[in-house]
Structure 1
Amino acid sequence: METDAKKWLESLSRMKPNFDRFSSVSLSGINVLSADHGRVVCSFCIPSYLTDAEGYWQPGAIVTLMDVVGVVAIMSIEDTMKVTVDLAISFFSQAKLHEEVEIEAHTVEQKGKLTMVVVHIRKKASQQLVAVGRQWMIFSSTRPFESKL
């Protein structure tokens, strides 16, 4: 399962940004370092099309990236895709154009059909925290490994 989860996220990273599909824009170019046992580690260099007029990474793009990487953390231990039912994000600092960040997501709790995932984003050079997301996810009938992107 962990190999399928990693392959799925890597396939999203290779997609050319399609501005009709925001997740492809937010994930294009993500580098998956590992995806196994409920933990995913990635790196990402912030492109110009995900920054605001002042050159800072847009919060919506951060949220989208956190959501998908959280899903992959779950997929690395379960043969199922889950969807977010509750998401709380705390922003601590801003990342700039061309800055490299590290994303780490890990599952922390399971209650029935719900799974909690925590996602940390840090600036690679300084390890300064950019954002932390906490999300609860529930089963979805979609099987991502069988879907066509």
Structure 2
Amino acid sequence: MSENKSTIGLEYAGKWFEFHANQRQDVFKIFFLFCAGCLSASGFFIEKQFYIALIPLGVTASFLSLIFWLLDRRTRKLIELGEESYRHFWECVGLPLERCPVYQASATSYWDFRYKHAYALTFIGTALAGLAISFYGLTKSW
């Protein structure tokens, strides 16, 4: 492959990664808005002692966690594709692999806390909180 095509490929792979990484952040921000809405609504319903409304609200929060987790998995795969392409074109241009940012980031310790871990904990926590809200509404409404 010619160096010019490799350079263009490297730029394109970098833009691909940047686009999907930003998309992932934006989707997570929207998820936080939904979480804030569900928590606010549950507080309102508890205050007004309208416990029956907590059941569908908690189920909705858990369902949204599942949907956004699936969206996050898909976006993470697209980011990984961008990383693989970036690493490939980095080598094609003739740059040393040990200086590649993607290679350096993946060479860190296994125990490093990453965004995927924080996101997973948030999705699991929200799903469990949604189930707890539904259960609380169910027990208080009977």
On whether the aligned pair clears a TM of 0.5, the verdict is: no
**Structure with a larger share of its residues in strand:** 1
Give the TM-score taking structure 1 as reference length.
0.30
Which is richer in helix? 2
Indicate the structure whose relative CO is greater, using CA pairs within 8 Å and at least 6 residues apart. Answer: 2
Q: TM-score, normalised by structure 2?
A: 0.31
